[in-house]
Every structure is written in structure tokens, then in C-alpha cells.
Structure 1
Amino acid sequence: MTKFVLLSLPNKYCNSQQSSRKIPILFILMHFHRAGKAFNPGEYWDLHGRALVREGERRLKANKKDDAIAALCDASELLKRSTSETSVRDAVNALNRATKILTEQGRFRQAADRQNEVGDIFRVSNRPAARDAYEKAGHLYQMDGAQAMGNAILRGAAEISGLVGDYERAIDTFVQVANWNLSSPLAKYSVKEIWLKAGLCALGADDVVLARELVDKFAQQDDTFPSTREARFLNNVVTAYGDGDVKAFTAHVVEYDQVKKLDDWKTEILLKIKKPIGDKGGLT
């Protein structure tokens, strides 16, 4: 029996109105499983993956939830290797369905892992979708009690929000993460970096007033912040931005970069912030 016949046979049974009465569910599941395994690695990723998706659907219908999760996750691994947009979308759908089942079972860590995979799939091709998936993963990790891991994922989601111009959402998430980190002796060191990124997002939103308010707020939360390199840099670029002084803005960026190398995120955001300064001639 060829692999294509194996795949078509259980589909025919599933589509038959009589299948639920005449064809044992285990018989159908067996054929879906055999169909999926018939496709060798590297050969027909799409067909192999979709066979496993159908297996997952039937196992879920048979209330075999753990087996359904396994089939859906295996299917996603195959489908996401395809160059077809449809297959990648099917991989995401399979992971989302697995996430839903895992969440309903209270298995939040495993559900978060699946959403993390969704974020990784979209990270290059669809930043907003990646951000949404990472946010969901972060909250699921927190629900599982993994606060530090959840915050790390949410911080990444906030960075994506900033890159796509959703500055308000980025600021809210950065502040949320920083507030928790401030209460953690192990994570407190990262707060100044997070606050810097929140302040830069305020400038990205062309809101100098908010940027200054954030600087003041952060200083009240931690009286050591104003003396940090990050706070001094933020104050300097906020002032230069407000004055519409491109030369001063650039000089502060170059100076900071010489002492502490700018990462890709800051570089991209600072370029976006710098672009309109010269056109406005004073941004108070």
C-alpha cells in the first residue's frame, strides 16, 4: 500500500457520514499514524504533517488528549520546515490547538513552550504576530510560577512592540517587567537597562513630556538610577530631542556607544528617533 493510499484511506473514512457508526475510531487513528510515518524525513513535509494533524484531530475527538497534543506538536515540527506559507500557518494552528489543550489541563509551562515556538516561527516574517505569541508565552510562564522566565519573554515582546512602533504597549510592558525585577535581588541589575528602553520608546512616540515623566518616576523608584550611565544617556538624548539638536543627539549616542556598545535594538530605535529631529527644529 503506497503512502498516498495510506493518507487517503483514513480521510475517506473521516469524511464518510457512516464512519462514526461503522468504522472503529482506533482503526482510523492507526491509518493516520501509518500515513504520517510513511513519509520519510525530508520528503513531503506538508503531507506528513497534515496526516499527523488529522491524527491529532481524531485523537482529540476520542478524548485522547495527551496523544492529540503529541500528534499536533509532531505535525508542527514538520509543517514549519516547509517553504509554503500555508504549511507554516498550519504549523502555527497546530501549536495553538496544543496550547489550548495544555492550558485547559493546567499544564502552563508546556503551553508556554508551544507559544514560544509560535513566536520563533513569526519572529522574522511577522513581528506583531511574534510579539503576541511571546506575550502569551510570558503570561503562561508566570501562571506556572516561573516569574523570571516569564519576565524575560515579556521583555523580548516589549522590544518587538518598540520596533514595530507600538510604543505605548512597549512602555507598559517594560515598566511591568522592571517593577517585578526591582523587587528581585537577582534581577534588579537589569532594571536600568529596561528603564532606558522605556524612555527611548517615549521619544519614539514623539512624547518628550512622557519621557521626562518616566525619568522622574524611575528616579523615585530607585534613587541610584540618576547616577547610572543609562540614566545620564537617557537624560541627554531627551534634552537634545526636545531642543531639536541633531548634533548633540548624535554626539551623545556616539559617546555612549564608545563606552557601552549599542545593541541592535537600541541602534534601530535611535535611528528612528533621530530621523525627525532636524525637520522639527525644536521639540519642546
Structure 2
Amino acid sequence: MSQEKKADDLFLKAEKKFKSFGLFSGSQKYDDACDMYVKAANLYKISKKWEKAAKSFIHAHHCQLKLESKHEAATFLIKAGQCFRKLSSEKAVETFIMAIDIFVDGGRFNMAAKYYKEIAEIYEKEKNYEKSILFYEKASDFFESENSKSTSNQCLLKVALYSAQLGQYDRAIDIYENVATESLENNLLKWSAKDYFLRAGILHLCAGDVVSARKGFERYQELDITFTGQRECTFLDDIITAFEEGDVEKFTNVVYDYDSISKLDAWKISMLLKVKSQIKQGVEDVML
């Protein structure tokens, strides 16, 4: 007999047990049915029958609700969602949200945060950045409520990353500047502040606001006395100056020289190209 056939038989037995009537059976029938649903789900997983596996876990969740074991019920929904991920992101997200609602109702905010983050990663993988941002923000809020500030900030940095790509520069700048400032208070994280300040400065230029870029640059040096001696500081100063002067060639050379020593990542290259376009546009406007 195949694993799937064994699973089918177990699922049918579980259904009969769940619906059975007995004066003295009490909660035992739900315990027994749950065990059979879970065994069926695991056999379906072995057979790669993901929808059947998810359905079995959802039925196990119903059993746990009958037993008033909400945390266990949510756990089975998570297992169902993980099976759905093999087939449908939409169904996976829907199932995770059902579990999250139970976690929140039970005050398990760290679990809610964890699975909001997982939903954000699902949308991130699909390059649906609007929805990814939404769920990273939710995850950040719940992690912060549980005093997991570092993980909360990791989620916020994702929000900043994709907000910038969507042209929401002010939102991203606020996040980078705030996280940088907070990082300075932690000996293990303070060295990352220079990168966040650089990103914020670049985004001021993406927005075409060279005045705010220069003010931000001066403020970053006041906040972090070590920033002045870093290559990121010199680079930011130089690209702001090139922007102020409307010198596309100077800007290009500064970026090239920096990248030859400190390799720029894809995000920074993308944003710097937007800055270059801003400089070119400014030059063309002057010439008209």
C-alpha cells in the first residue's frame, strides 16, 4: 500500500472519530482524531501531496480548538501554511494570518512577529515589495513590543530598502537615520551606523534635496565623531559636492574611485544612478 493510500485511510478514520457520538468519549475522541490527522498529514508530506497534508493539519487545528488548546491549534495552522507554500503563496499567507490571530489573542506576540516576518519574506521573494513592506512593518512592531529591538530594526531596514526602491525616500531616510542613531548606543552595532548614514545621504540626493543632504551630512558627524574619519564620510561629502556643482563627470569619478576600493552593492549602485540622473536633469534645466 502506498504512503498516500495509508494517509487517505487515516484521514477517513480521523473524520469518523471526529464526528462520532459517545456519552463518555468526552475530549478523547478529539485527541484520537488529532493524532490520526497528524499522522495522515506526515504521510502526505512524504508523498509530496502538499494540499492534502495542509488540509489534514487544518483538521488537526479544529480538533485542538475543540480541546481549547489554542496554541497547539495555531501550531497546526503554521504547519498547514508551510505545506501550502509549496503550492500557493496566497493560501500560505491566509493560513499564517489565521495562526497569527490566535497567537495575538493569546498574547504570544513573539510568535506573531516571527510569522509576520515569514509572510514578508514570501512577498519579498515574489518581488511584491508593497506587501513585503507592510508585513515587515507589522513584524517590526511586534518584535519591538517583545523588546527584541535588534530584530525589529532588521525588519525596519528591509522596509527602508524596498521603500527607497519604490521612490519613498523620506520614509527610508527616517528609518536609516533612526537605526543609525540607535546603533551608536550599542558597542556591537555602532560600526554599522556609517553605512546607514551613507544610505540616508544618498537618498536625500535621490530626492533631489541637496540642502537636506548637506545638513544631514553635518548632523551625522555630530552624532558620530568617528564618522568623519571614515571612507563613507569622505565619499558622501564628495558626491554631495558634485551634486552642488552639477558636475556629472566629477560624480562619476568619485563613485568609480570609491567602488574600486570598497565594492558598492547593487542597491547603492541603483540609488547612485538615480542621483546621477538628478544631476543631469539639473544641468539640462539650467541650459534651457
TM-score using structure 2 length: 0.81
Query: How many Å apart are 1:244 and its aligned residue?
Result: 2.9
CA contact (8 A) 1:116 1:137 kept: yes
Per the alignment, residue 112 of structure 2 pairs with 111
CA contact (8 A) 2:120 2:133 kept: yes
CA contact (8 A) 1:243 1:282 kept: no
Per the alignment, residue 269 of structure 2 pairs with 267
Specify the code of the residue in structure 2 equivalent to 1:219: Q
Per the alignment, residue 102 of structure 1 pairs with 103
Per the alignment, residue 196 of structure 1 pairs with 198
Query: How many Å apart are 1:5 and its aligned residue?
Result: 7.8
179-188 or 219-228, which deviates more: 219-228
Specify the code of the residue in structure 2 equivalent to 1:45: W
Query: How many Å apart are 1:279 and its aligned residue?
Result: 3.1
**Which of 44, 49, 55 is the matching residue for 2:49?**
44
Query: How many Å apart are 1:276 and its aligned residue?
Result: 4.0
Per the alignment, residue 163 of structure 1 pairs with 165
Per the alignment, residue 146 of structure 1 pairs with 148
Query: How many Å apart are 1:9 and its aligned residue?
Result: 9.0
1:133 and 2:135 are equivalent in the alignment: yes
Per the alignment, residue 72 of structure 1 pairs with 77
2-11 or 267-276, which deviates more: 2-11
Unpaired segments of 5 or more residues in structure 2? none
Specify the code of the residue in structure 1 equivalent to 2:151: M
Residue by residue over 1:57-89, the C-alpha shift from the partner in whole angstroms, topping out at 9 and shown as x without a partner, is 55346532121121111112111122xxxx211
1:59 and 2:60 are equivalent in the alignment: no
> Taking every aligned residue pair, what percent have the same amino acid on both sides?
30
Question: Separation in 1 of the partners of 2:203 and 2:46?
Answer: 45
CA contact (8 A) 1:73 1:94 kept: yes
CA contact (8 A) 1:72 1:98 kept: yes
Unpaired segments of 5 or more residues in structure 1? none
How large is the Cα RMSD of the aligned pairs? 3.3
Matches within 5 A, 1:233-272: 233-272=235-274
262-271 or 36-45, which deviates more: 36-45
Question: Separation in 1 of the partners of 2:285 and 2:217?
Answer: 17
117-126 or 222-231, which deviates more: 222-231
Per the alignment, residue 231 of structure 1 pairs with 233
